[in-house]
Amino acid sequence: MLKDITLGQFFPGDSPLHKLDPRTKLILTTVYIILVFVARGAPGFAVILLFTLAMIAASKIPAKIILRGLRPLVFIITFTAIINLFWTKGENLLFRLGFIEIYSEGVLYAVLMVLRVVLLLLGSSVLLTYTTSPIALTDGLEQLLSPLKKLRVPVHEFAMMMTIALRFIPTLIEETDKIMNAQKARGVDFSSGGIIRRAKALIPILIPLFVSAFRRADELAIAMECRCYRGGEGRTRMKVLKLSYRDLVASVIFVFFTAAVIAANVFIPWLSV
Amino acid sequence: MSGTPFIKAENLCFSYSIAEDGGLRRELPVIKNVSFEIGRGDFVAILGHNGSGKSTLAKLLNLILTPTSGKIYIDGRDITDPAITEDDIFEIRRKIGMVFQNPDNQLVATVVEEDVAFGPENLGIPPEEIRRRVNEALAIVGMSAYARHSPHQLSGGQKQRVAIAGIIAMLPECIVFDESTSMLDPSGRKEVMNTIVSLNRDRGITVLHITHNMDEAVLADRVIVINDGEIFLDGTPREVFSHVGELQSVGLDVPQVTELLYELSVDGIKMPDGSPLPRGVLSEEEGAEILRALL
């Protein structure tokens, strides 16, 4: 049962978005996030919404999967909507029931804020997490941050830690499964009792898991040393990230997108928030 | 090459220091005054029961552990020299690859081919050359079809073959297998043993196979039996396994067919022509031949 967990949200495919260099995607995602916060008027949001829908179409990821990604946010979305709806004071009173007052500004605020949260998640997941494998993401981050090496930031070491963590997650999940079964066979009950009782039942799983993780770490370190590992210095990579015409095209599209959002903000700031 | 032996150990000693109550440290000798030579292209099995010091011996050869005293020469170069540099150690570890017991705990990357590339990447080899070596290494161990798989989708034997490919890609002259088959099921064991044998026979790689499985030791050209940190027996499998009584006295088994013929000869059974039963019979075919002659 635990084996079904997939790593991250990566959805394999070969759409134009999948083929972009991870570095390009990291930078463009940052730009996208900034734009979502910069947009103020309804036209601006409309531009971003259209652009995001176009990206989703280009990524060829089924809409069902994308909508599933929104599920964990239902609470935050509802909360944002309610707060904005009831607590925004304005001029046009729409509705009053006792101390509850709803203004038209409140409705606008609620809609745009919810849109902002949804767009933030949709855009960044379609541009980055759904279309980039965790390894490509790690490689991209390492390369992008490599100038920080001059400031003695251990960029390579962090990337290596990420890779090893990704490598060992399935192994440790499998091990947890085994330990749980072993403890169940000895009569430990994981599924009944209150929170405290259940938390206590986890101790006999966590301790063996930790012990084994430390042993694995030790063995892995020796194996890495035997394979001549000595940090990032003097190390080459088999796969070198290369920018292609795709990255240029994507960047140009993003320049126009940015211009469109800013123009909408400046020239048609209708219904601004 | 018959000139200098590839590995030469002289009066090698190693002890772990153990903390005792009261902050005192006690030395626990693990390897005691061991000397041996291993030639280029040899296939040597190192046998010993748990705690005999055989794995420690392996870790001394590429300086994961530093000997307490004694000398080790690799390719004529003294690696126990205190003046040895980081780069020399690097070169020794490239020459002598090691494959360990648990296949899970030696794979670093999330994709098979990336893992095989790990060693060559550390050596600073250009990307195209790494790509070529990775493809070749995966082909040698028969794992090319799994290049894009993730290690956790593979069986134990397959993972171990990927680990071997990771070492081959560094173009080592010698590979030490530190109980590399002991965690595998019989079919995985067979896959890995076939790979090891072909590396030695077809590619001339020196192999040190540390094991406590007698049937695997039989495949080697030479067997060194370690007991309690000392060399107990050293010779061809046939010579070593003719000492059935001695091997059993140090807690080691012999292959079943060898033991059967040994027990028969202890019971006074002789060949039809009156000569004693041959000792150190290793193959089941040969055993069957002798039994047929007896009946």
Confidence of residue A3 (pLDDT cuts 50, 70, 90): very low
Give, as one character, the DSSP assignment of residue A232.
Answer: S
What is the per-residue burial (b if ≥16 Cβ within 10 Å, else e) of A79-117?
Answer: ebbeebbeebeeeeeeeeeeeebbbebbbbbbbbbbbbb
Residue A210 has pLDDT above 90, yes or no: yes
What is the per-residue burial (b if ≥16 Cβ within 10 Å, else e) of B223-232?
Answer: bbbbbebebb
CB neighbours of residue B284 within 10 Å: 12
pLDDT value, residue B276: 84
Which residue from B268, B248, B249, B250 is spatially nearest to B258, judged by alpha carbons?
B248
**Secondary structure class of B46 (helix, strand, coil):** strand
Contact A167, B109 (CB under 8 A): yes
B94 and A228 in contact by Cβ < 8 A? yes
Give chain B positions within 8 Å (CB) of A162: none
Residue B250 Cα, gap to closest chain A Cα (Å): 29
Cross-chain CB nearest to A226 (options B97, B111, B120):
B97
| Per-residue pLDDT tens digits for B140-176 | 999 999 998 888 889 999 999 999 999 999 999 999 9
A238 and B152 in contact by Cβ < 8 A? no
Residues of chain B scoring pLDDT < 70: 1-3
Cβ–Cβ contact B89 with A under 8 A: no
Higher local confidence (pLDDT), A41 or A257: A257
Cβ–Cβ contact A74 with B under 8 A: no
Quick one: closest CA in B to A240, which residue?
B127
Contact B14, B230 (CB under 8 A): no
Kind and range of the H or E element at B123? helix B112-123
Give chain A positions within 8 Å (CB) of B102: 216, 219
Scanning the structure block, which residue is given the tokens 């999330």? B110
Cross-chain CB nearest to B124 (options A216, A219, A235):
A235
Question: Which residues 169-188 of B are in CB contact (within 8 Å) with A?
Answer: 170
* Sign, CA torsion A56/A61/A63/A66: negative
Annotate B93-113 with DSSP letters as a single string. Answer: HHHEEEE-S-GGGG--SSSHH
Give chain B positions within 8 Å (CB) of A14: none
Cβ–Cβ contact A27 with B under 8 A: no
Contact B146, B158 (CB under 8 A): yes
Cβ–Cβ contact B291 with A under 8 A: no
B86 and A230 in contact by Cβ < 8 A? yes
Cross-chain CB nearest to B170 (options A164, A224, A227):
A227
CB neighbours of residue A200 within 10 Å: 12
Confidence of residue A10 (pLDDT cuts 50, 70, 90): confident
Contact B74, B20 (CB under 8 A): no
How do the domains of chain A map onto residue ranges?
Answer: 8-145+241-267, 155-226
Residue A261 has pLDDT above 70, yes or no: yes
Alpha-carbon distance of A80 to A57, in angstroms, equals 27
Confidence of residue A8 (pLDDT cuts 50, 70, 90): low
**Secondary structure class of B274 (helix, strand, coil):** coil
pLDDT value, residue B278: 83
| Per-residue pLDDT tens digits for A135-169 | 888 889 999 999 998 999 999 999 999 889 888 98
Alpha-carbon distance of A111 to A115, in angstroms, equals 6
**Domain boundaries for CATH 3.40.50.300 within chain B:** 7-254
For residue B259, count CB atoms less than 10 angstroms from its CB and return exposed for 0-12, middle for 13-18, buried for 19 or more. Answer: middle
Question: Which pair of tokens denotes residue B264?
Answer: 């028969």
Encoded amino acid at B100, one letter: F
Classify strands B43-47 and A93-97 as parallel, antiparallel or unpaired. unpaired
Contact B87, B211 (CB under 8 A): no
Contact A73, A119 (CB under 8 A): no
Quick one: closest CA in B to A217, which residue?
B105
Alpha-carbon distance of B276 to B288, in angstroms, equals 16
Quick one: closest CA in B to A175, which residue?
B104
Question: Which pair of tokens denotes residue B268?
Answer: 């006074």
Quick one: closest CA in A to B102, which residue?
A219
A230 and B126 in contact by Cβ < 8 A? no
Quick one: closest CA in B to A232, which residue?
B122
pLDDT value, residue A56: 93
Report domain B7-254's class.
Answer: alpha beta
Give phi and psi for B111, each to the nearest 5. -130, 140
Of all residues in chain A, what percent carry a pLDDT higher than 90?
A: 51
Give chain B positions within 8 Å (CB) of A221: none
Cβ–Cβ contact B138 with A under 8 A: no
pLDDT value, residue B19: 79
pLDDT value, residue A4: 43
Contact B16, B187 (CB under 8 A): no
Read off the pLDDT of each residue in A193-211 and give the average, rounded to a whole number. 88
Alpha-carbon distance of A245 to A19, in angstroms, equals 11
Cα–Cα distances in Å, from A51 out to A32, A36, A127, B38?
A: 10, 11, 11, 68
Give chain A positions within 8 Å (CB) of B93: 225-228
Give chain A positions within 8 Å (CB) of B105: 216, 219-220, 223
Cα–Cα distances in Å, from A112 out to A36, A88, A118, B198, B214?
A: 11, 13, 10, 67, 74
Quick one: closest CA in A to B165, which residue?
A227
Half-sphere exposure for B92 (CA within 13 Å, toward CB):
24
